[in-house]
């Protein structure tokens, strides 16, 4: 079964090739200006970055060492406050329902809609992406586009196929005529001639790429005269006439040439390429959305762990305040502690709901039939976000985007379509001048066999026709307007190409800015979390040393510091995940998301779709 591997067009080179390949109706200077506009659209956007083409790395300054903070602070707090050791267990990298991380998180989730403890399944980012590429319904819909457009191309090419044509008719006629008056016998009288005729023909015809139409037909006419004019019946009767007729109708001006007559084929070929590009665009968007949903699920799971820790810490402090009601805790202080705990309990419930929502979103994007949306299985991420510096070059990123973005390839195809329409419109301005030539060899005998033999003796050439048809509308306003519109459409397509290039450049710059900024924010968020942890640890140490000498105010301060630490932990998680999201968006902006995830882009033909072949061909896939 054949597949067509698609090679991506490079932006500037492809644009120049497309324009060169088209038969342009513009004059040379206008054509040169159009090509220059395409080249300049790219050059203008990469000029500044070209002088700084050397790659560099994302950088950040660690302020934790300056503040004297370290991970020992967080490790100490984890040991004392991590309920059930869930945070530690969630670092498991195994995949599947039996993984420690997946098993741990299920005890922090609320019951499912069946009233049971939820069942969980650990899923890696790679499995989520590969599952979406194979089963996502948006991708499934887009997969049909190239095969449908390929069928359109075949249908357009079929206009130039040979066609078998035949015709058969029967006719019975009674024709009244008047005779001349005869001397001494009186005036004329009406005479009716009566005959029946059976005609038939069979042959081949074809339209050529030049626009001409050629046909060759074998014709027969069987005639049986029952009564002739004036009562005279010709011989032979019945009779058969045979004729071999070859005919050519060829436009010489309007409608002449392959550029005009193949226009429909070429535009449909471009539509096929556009469908392939659209499929790639859908795949890139789906992969990026899956990665974003995966990190949302990681965030939701981390929030459940962090807020569950916060709730456990709050319950312990609330109980301490209740105990001190016999000493210095008044009812208002106790009620405030209870309210704080209940708010935290509500936050945990919302976080549990967020986990289920994020899991459903990821299942919807994956579209895996083994993970039905209506099921109560909760997906749990088994991959952690990466915290690694990335090497980048703005110039390389821009040129990669221009070479790989499906939107730019579609804009190039738009220029080609406009050029084809302009070629057709220019030809339509010409006068109509058609050549018609016809040659017929005939035979006439009693039977069809004898008439056919007589025909090929070439004793008679019944018809030799050579003619010209000329037509020119006065003013030719409709065709001139159509040509003017086609020129404007082509100029507009170049502007649309420039817009696509600018949008690609803007997307790459924004994504790179996010990558650089979010990488720096990771350290800031981590330092803030360590500082908050140190503040809470100090309070706890003083609380232990005081041996019951602490006050309600100090317990309230502990509650506030617990909330500050939880917020700092969530902020650090968000910063790390935002960095990973920014990297994914950068690859999407450059059009390299499939290569980054080792997905080979293969366009299936109609047979593969019918047989259910997959879009990807991944050697590592099971």
Residue pLDDT, tens place only, 462-476: 678 899 999 999 989
* pLDDT higher than 70, residue 250: yes
pLDDT at 262: 93
pLDDT at 99: 43
Tokens of 507: 């997307």
Residue pLDDT, tens place only, 555-588: 888 888 889 999 999 999 999 999 999 999 999 9
Residue pLDDT, tens place only, 427-447: 999 999 999 999 888 887 777
Are 218 and 297 contained in the same domain? no
**Helical axes 263-323 vs 137-157, angle rounded to 10°:** 180
Rounded to two decimals, the pTM is: 0.79
Residue pLDDT, tens place only, 336-363: 888 988 998 999 999 989 999 999 999 9
pLDDT band at 91 (very low <50, low <70, confident <90, very high): very low
Q: For residue 478, is it within any domain?
A: no
Q: For residue 121, is it within any domain?
A: yes
pLDDT at 71: 54
Are 173 and 147 contained in the same domain? no
* pLDDT higher than 80, residue 404: yes
Q: What is the mean pLDDT of residues 440-460?
A: 76
Residue pLDDT, tens place only, 253-305: 999 999 999 999 999 999 999 999 999 999 999 999 999 999 999 999 999 98
Q: What is the mean pLDDT of residues 209-216?
A: 93
410 closest CA partner among 8, 5, 41, 33? 8
More confident residue, 548 or 502: 502
Are 465 and 600 contained in the same domain? no
Q: For residue 554, is it within any domain?
A: yes
Instruction: Quote the CA–CA distance of 159 and 282 in Å, as a whole number.
Output: 33
Cβ neighbours for 208, distance < 8 A, ≥ 6 positions apart: 160, 214
Are 554 and 589 contained in the same domain? yes
Are 286 and 381 contained in the same domain? yes
pLDDT at 278: 94
Residue pLDDT, tens place only, 307-318: 988 898 888 888
Are 404 and 500 contained in the same domain? yes
The DSSP symbol for 601 reads: B
pLDDT band at 529 (very low <50, low <70, confident <90, very high): confident
* pLDDT higher than 70, residue 527: yes
Q: What is the mean pLDDT of residues 132-157?
A: 91
Are 326 and 404 contained in the same domain? yes
CATH number of 529's domain: 1.20.1600.10
pLDDT band at 597 (very low <50, low <70, confident <90, very high): very high
Are 269 and 314 contained in the same domain? yes
pLDDT at 15: 36
Domain containing 508 equals 63-152+264-413+488-611
Are 284 and 392 contained in the same domain? yes
Last residue of a domain, one of 471, 500, 521: 471
Instruction: Quote the CA–CA distance of 276 and 282 in Å, as a whole number.
Output: 10
pLDDT at 2: 36
Q: For residue 45, is it within any domain?
A: no
Last residue of a domain, one of 441, 471, 501: 471
* pLDDT higher than 70, residue 153: yes
Q: For residue 340, is it within any domain?
A: yes
Are 136 and 245 contained in the same domain? no
30 closest CA partner among 462, 594, 426, 463? 426
Total domains present in the chain: 2
pLDDT band at 64 (very low <50, low <70, confident <90, very high): low
What average pLDDT is seen over the chain? 79
Cis peptide before 238 (omega within 30 of 0): yes
413 closest CA partner among 5, 25, 19? 19
* pLDDT higher than 80, residue 371: yes
Q: What is the mean pLDDT of residues 53-75?
A: 57
pLDDT at 105: 67
pLDDT at 276: 93
Q: For residue 36, is it within any domain?
A: no
For residue 468, what is the enclosing H or E element?
strand 461-471
pLDDT at 346: 93
Backbone angles phi and psi of 139, in degrees to 5:
-65, -40
* pLDDT higher than 70, residue 382: yes
Are 248 and 272 contained in the same domain? no
Q: Own/partner pairs for 209-213, CB < 8 Å, 24+ apart?
A: 209/160, 209/258, 209/261, 209/262, 210/250, 210/251, 210/256, 210/257, 210/258, 210/261, 211/250, 211/251, 211/255, 211/256, 211/257, 211/260, 211/261, 212/248, 212/249, 212/250, 212/251, 213/248, 213/249, 213/250
pLDDT at 511: 93
Q: For residue 57, is it within any domain?
A: no
pLDDT at 410: 93
Q: For residue 533, is it within any domain?
A: yes
Are 246 and 389 contained in the same domain? no
């Amino acid at each position: 079964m054949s597949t067509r591997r698609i090679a991506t067009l490079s932006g500037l080179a492809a644009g120049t090739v497309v324009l060169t390949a088209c038969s342009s109706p513009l004059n040379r200077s206008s054509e040169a200006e159009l090509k220059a506009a395409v080249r300049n659209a790219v050059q203008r956007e990469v000029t500044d970055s070209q002088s700084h083409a050397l790659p560099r790395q994302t950088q950040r300054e660690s302020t934790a060492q300056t503040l004297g903070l370290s991970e020992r602070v967080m490790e100490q707090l984890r040991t004392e406050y991590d309920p059930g050791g869930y945070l530690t267990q969630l670092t498991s990298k195994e995949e599947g329902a039996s993984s420690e991380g997946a098993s741990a998180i299920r005890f922090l989730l609320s019951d499912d809609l069946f009233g049971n403890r939820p069942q969980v399944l650990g899923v890696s980012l790679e499995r989520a992406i590969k599952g979406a590429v194979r089963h996502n319904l948006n991708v499934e819909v887009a997969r049909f586009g190239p095969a449908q457009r390929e069928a359109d191309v075949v249908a357009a090419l079929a206009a130039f196929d040979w066609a078998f044509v035949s015709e058969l008719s029967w006719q019975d006629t009674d024709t009244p005529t008047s005779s001349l008056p005869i001397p001494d016998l009186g005036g004329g009288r009406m005479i009716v001639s009566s005959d029946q005729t059976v005609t038939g023909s069979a042959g081949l015809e074809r339209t050529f790429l030049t626009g001409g139409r050629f046909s060759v037909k074998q014709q027969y006419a069987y005639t049986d005269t029952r009564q002739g004019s004036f009562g005279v019946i010709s011989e032979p009767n019945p009779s058969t006439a045979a004729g071999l007729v070859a005919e050519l109708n060829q436009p010489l001006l309007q409608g002449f040439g392959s550029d005009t007559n193949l226009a429909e084929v070429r535009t449909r070929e471009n539509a096929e390429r556009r469908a392939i590009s659209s499929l790639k665009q859908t795949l890139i968007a789906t992969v990026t959305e899956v990665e974003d949903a995966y990190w949302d699920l990681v965030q939701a799971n981390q929030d459940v762990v962090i807020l569950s820790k916060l709730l456990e810490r709050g319950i312990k402090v609330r109980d301490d305040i209740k105990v001190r009601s016999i000493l210095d805790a008044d009812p208002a202080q106790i009620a405030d502690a209870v309210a704080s705990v209940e708010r935290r309990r509500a936050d945990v419930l919302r976080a549990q709901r967020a986990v289920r929502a994020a899991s459903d979103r990821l299942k919807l994007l994956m579209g895996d039939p083994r993970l039905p949306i209506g099921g109560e299985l909760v997906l749990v991420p088994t991959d952690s976000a990466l915290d690694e510096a990335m090497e980048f070059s703005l110039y390389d990123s821009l040129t990669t985007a221009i070479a790989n973005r499906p939107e730019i390839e579609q804009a190039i195809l738009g220029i080609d379509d406009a050029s084809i329409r302009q070629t057709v419109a220019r030809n339509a301005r010409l006068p109509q001048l058609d050549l018609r030539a016809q040659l017929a060899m005939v035979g006439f005998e009693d039977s069809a066999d004898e008439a056919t033999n007589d025909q090929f003796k070439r004793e008679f050439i019944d018809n030799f026709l050579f003619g010209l048809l000329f037509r020119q509308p006065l003013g030719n306003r409709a065709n001139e307007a159509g040509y003017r519109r086609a020129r404007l459409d082509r100029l507009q397509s170049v502007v649309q190409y420039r817009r696509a290039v600018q949008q690609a450049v803007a997307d790459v710059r924004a994504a790179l800015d996010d990558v650089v900024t979010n990488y720096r924010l990771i350290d800031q968020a981590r330092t803030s979390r360590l500082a908050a942890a140190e503040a809470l640890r100090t309070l706890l140490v003083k609380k232990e040393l005081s041996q019951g000498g602490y006050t309600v105010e100090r317990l309230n301060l502990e509650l506030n510091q617990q909330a500050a630490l939880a917020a700092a932990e969530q902020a650090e998680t968000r910063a790390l995940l935002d960095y990973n999201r920014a990297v994914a968006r950068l690859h999407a902006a450059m059009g390299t998301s499939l290569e980054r995830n080792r997905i080979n882009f293969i366009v299936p033909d109609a047979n593969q779709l019918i047989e259910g072949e997959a879009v990807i061909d991944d050697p590592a896939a099971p």
